[in-house]
Chains A and B, each alone.
Chain A
Amino acid sequence: QQPVQSPQAVILREGEDAVINCSSSKALYSVHWYRQKHGEAPVFLMILLKGGEQKGHEKISASFNEKKQQSSLYLTASQLSYSGTYFCGTEGGANSGYALNFGKGTSLLVTP
């Protein structure tokens, strides 16, 4: 039930863009995105509900393709503060359980 994230790690220069993907083998009700900095608790970025909507958060946005059970997180014009580990979390549909399950994370490092 754990979603699969790719890539496992990304190294960017400041100002570059990145895409992090999340996919699930089960029908999804929602997809969550969180960022965790070293030694800190994960912090919420956004939630996407089924319906294929796209949400934005400054220069960080995400999309959710319900039919493909996939979500992508887009980081544009990356800043040093974007460094951290990004987790997608998924909530299943009525027959898949409601618990919020997370992927193994994508480590993002933005360099000057």
Chain B
Amino acid sequence: GAGVSQSPSNKVTEKGKDVELRCDPISGHTALYWYRQSLGQGLEFLIYFQGNSAPDKSGLPSDRFSAERTGGSVSTLTIQRTQQEDSAVYLCASTPTNRAAEAFFGQGTRLTVV
């Protein structure tokens, strides 16, 4: 079956513009994560959705970042007034259950803010 799909794969935007990144998780997966990976850095946790529970937003770096997950499926990560330091690869992952389950990653969106 299809894996986690992210779009766009690459995005170049001007500083100050808003961007939306999309993630289509594997069908039936209840948990969805967003991570940010900067050059040579680890996987920085951003936000975690689990079923109908309130999302864990503890990793969002500023109020310019927000995310939503509609109908327990597709998720959108929005970055407002982008800054150059937002340049990174944004990875989405989904898991079939909320605990101790393999995370399936998408190929990521490479965001470049110029």
Residues of A in contact with B (beta carbons under 8 Å apart)? 1-2, 29-30, 32, 34, 40-44, 47, 49, 87, 89, 91, 97-105
Rounded to whole angstroms, the CA-CA distance of A89 and B105 in the bound complex is: 13
Decide if A102 touches B59 in the complex (CB within 8 Å).
no
A-B CB pair tally, cutoff 8 Å: 64
Decide if B42 touches A41 in the complex (CB within 8 Å).
no
Decide if B107 touches A41 in the complex (CB within 8 Å).
yes
Decide if A41 touches B108 in the complex (CB within 8 Å).
yes
Residue from the list B56, B100, B105 in contact with A29, Cβ < 8 A: B100
The verdict on B26 contacting chain A, using a C-beta distance below 8 Å, is no
Chain A's nearest CB lies how many Å from the CB of B105?
4
Q: Which residues of chain A are near B35, meaning CB under 8 Å?
A: 102
Q: Which residues of chain A are near B107, meaning CB under 8 Å?
A: 40-41
The verdict on B52 contacting chain A, using a C-beta distance below 8 Å, is no
Decide if A98 touches B99 in the complex (CB within 8 Å).
yes
The verdict on B88 contacting chain A, using a C-beta distance below 8 Å, is no
Rounded to whole angstroms, the CA-CA distance of A7 and B59 in the bound complex is: 25
Decide if A41 touches B106 in the complex (CB within 8 Å).
yes
Contact (A100, B48) CB under 8 Å given A29-B100, A30-B99, A91-B100 = yes
Residue from the list A41, A100, A105 in contact with B33, Cβ < 8 A: A100
The verdict on B102 contacting chain A, using a C-beta distance below 8 Å, is yes
The verdict on B67 contacting chain A, using a C-beta distance below 8 Å, is no
Decide if B43 touches A87 in the complex (CB within 8 Å).
yes
Closest to B4 in A: A41
Instruction: Encode B71-108 as 1/0 by CB contact (under 8 A) with A.
Output: 00000000000000000000101010011111111111
Decide if B103 touches A30 in the complex (CB within 8 Å).
no
Decide if B50 touches A98 in the complex (CB within 8 Å).
yes
